[in-house]
Structure formats: C-alpha cells, structure tokens
Amino acid sequence: MIDVVSMGELLVEFVATVPNTPLADVPGFIKAPGGAPANVAVGLQRLGLRARFVGKVGDDPFGVYLRDSLAREGVDTRFLLVDRTARTTAVFVAVWDDGRKDLCFYRNPGADMLLSPDEIDARLFDGARCFHFGSIGFIDEPCASAQRRALDIARARGLMITFDPNYRPTLWRDASIAQNVIQDSFQYCHLAKISEEEWEIATGTRDLDAGIAAVLARGVELLVITRGPRGAIATNGDYRIELEPPTVPVVETTGAGDGFMAAMITRLLPERERLGSLTRVDRNIVREALTFANAVGALTCTRPGAIPALPTRVEVEQFMARQGNR
C-alpha cells in the first residue's frame, strides 16, 4: 500500500563545500540526491508514511545512484522510469546562511523532462491517499502533459492534492509564463506551500493579504507560507497562524522546505480524510502541524545536502521534546 504519490524531478545535486561563496569561486562540491518532489517522498518515508515516486532518470551512473538512493529509503520506485536518450539532470548549488541559493542546472534536456503522458499508468495511484507535485514538471513537453494527466487521475480519484511551486527562475524561459502556470496550478490543490522568495511570482502581488486572498480564491483549502528564519504562516482565510521556528545552528538550508512540506502532509492527511476538507480542520491541529513542520525544517538545516539531511520521526520528536514541545 502507498500513502502518497510524489511526481517530478529527481536529480543529482552538487552542493558547495563552502557556504556564502558564489559558484565560480567554490573549491569543491558534495554529491547528493535531490529534486524537490523526491525530497518530499523521502521526507514522508522518514516521518512514517509510505511514498511512491514518479519520474524519469537517464540510463547512466547517476540514474542508478538516484534510484538506489530512493530505494534505500523505502520509496517505491516502480514508476521511476529510465530514458535511453537523455542524461540524468544535475544541478550545482551554492548556498548562503540566509537561505539564498545559486543554482546552475545541466538539463538540455534532462531525462526528467521526457516523461510522457502515455507513460502515466493509472495503476500508480492504486491505494494512494495523496498526490504531491511542483511546477518544474510543467516547464517542458512532454512532461507537462504527463503531469496534467496525473493530476486529472488524482482529482478523479478524490485524493488530497498538495503543491509546492518550487520556482527556479533559471529554468523558465519567461517569468510571466511561470507566473501563469503556477497560479493556474492552485486550482488543483488542497494544500499549497509558497516560500517567501517566490511569493510575488506565485501570487501576482507583493502584498501578503492580497496574495493570500488570490490563492484561496482559486480553491486552495489551506495555504502555508514559509519565511526562513522568520518561521511560517498557515491560513484558510478564517484564521492566520504565525509561528517562529526553533533556533538551530544552520549548516545549509537545501531541502528544508521539502522536509517542511512532508511534515505538513504527514500531519494533515488523516484530518482531511476524516473531515473532507482542510478548511474544517481545527486551528489547534493546524498549529500543531505547523510546529511539527517548523521542527522538521529546522533540523534539515543542521546537515548538508537535501535528502541526506531530512530527519526521521524519532529525531523530530526528540528535538521537539528538548525544545519543550510535545
């Protein structure tokens, strides 16, 4: 049985060994598996849910490395396909203590871009309770059509649908195209997470209240806004919860938002199934979910890499106990 199907990019990250340094000046890199939807899948596994990943890698050593990395975590990789014509996507990452990143993608095309609609088997959703996706899968065809087919199946089956735009400017041909795609995607999802740095592109405004109203008007049941060291906001339009994160020694922030998203799904999926809508979830339960997600995000920042840094449920519970949270 599978709880969550996560779809999108799976890639090799080469993370700078020295923080706060431009890519051109970095002396070396550490190889790690990455890609936001894949990070979420691993985060879910470590927090106790069962995840399946849908995507594509190249027929090369990095593709083998990525498949093995997910499989070791218990992620179901039966629908992680191999493309014989394109290489596995790679990205070089420089990070700053304040959460900023320099990203240089090698994806011309990457295998993840070549997933086609006829490769989306409806059986991949058998037994699933939730579908998670991002915006990068909409950048190029045929992957964009494949992701739309998956969304149509997930919606027809009544799954909870979650969305993280994960906006990467260097991958889009035009910012206005990205804005239209991201804003159009909100119509599909029940839970959306938007980071502060992508707020304007995702909502069409810099204003917090106007942006929240615009997203909720498209049908999103619960919106979460991550703000790095300033914590996170959760709102369904009737209430707004703002929580600061725990203080931790930051090694790097890669993957923190993905761990956060996995935590929100873990906590809120049972509630939506019970009540039929995230708008009906008691605000105290949402507050607890936000507290849990903040802890997951903070712990992820204490280690290098994305997938290697994601904490287990036991680690999170122990950390929260030390912080005075149950």
Across the range 121-130, mean pLDDT stands at: 96
Give yes or no for residue 106 having a pLDDT over 60.
Answer: yes
Q: Could you report the per-residue pLDDT of 24-50, keeping only the tens digit for each? A: 999 999 898 999 999 999 999 999 999
Count of domains for the chain: 1
Range of the domain at 63: 4-8+36-87+108-323
Asked if the structure places residue 62 within a domain, the reply is yes
Please report, for the domain that includes residue 153, its CATH number. Answer: 3.40.1190.20
The answer to whether residues 6 and 41 touch, using CB atoms and an 8 Å cutoff, is: yes
Q: Could you report the per-residue pLDDT of 212-226, keeping only the tens digit for each? A: 999 999 999 999 999
pLDDT value of position 121? 93
pLDDT value of position 143? 97
Give yes or no for residue 326 having a pLDDT over 60.
Answer: no
Asked if the structure places residue 214 within a domain, the reply is yes
Asked if the structure places residue 266 within a domain, the reply is yes
Across the range 163-192, mean pLDDT stands at: 96
- Alpha-carbon gap, residue 66 to 81, rounded angstroms: 12
How far lies 52's CA from each of 39, 126, 229, 246, 257, in Å? Answer: 12, 11, 31, 30, 19
Asked if the structure places residue 292 within a domain, the reply is yes
**Residue among 104, 93, 102, 91 nearest 62 (CA):** 91
Give yes or no for residue 23 having a pLDDT over 90.
Answer: yes
Cβ neighbours, 10 Å, residue 277: 13
Give yes or no for residue 20 having a pLDDT over 70.
Answer: yes
Asked if the structure places residue 17 within a domain, the reply is no
Give yes or no for residue 142 having a pLDDT over 60.
Answer: yes
Confidence of residue 90 (pLDDT cuts 50, 70, 90): very high
Q: Could you report the per-residue pLDDT of 248-261, keeping only the tens digit for each? A: 998 878 889 999 99
Structure tokens of 179? 């804005």
Asked if the structure places residue 224 within a domain, the reply is yes
CA angle at 224 for the pair 218 and 230, rounded to the nearest 5°: 140
Asked if the structure places residue 251 within a domain, the reply is yes
pLDDT value of position 325? 62
% the chain with pLDDT above 70: 99
Collapsing DSSP to helix, strand or coil, 257 comes out as helix
pLDDT value of position 250? 86
Looking at per-residue confidence, does 94 or 68 come out higher?
Answer: 68
Give yes or no for residue 124 having a pLDDT over 70.
Answer: yes
Asked if the structure places residue 31 within a domain, the reply is no
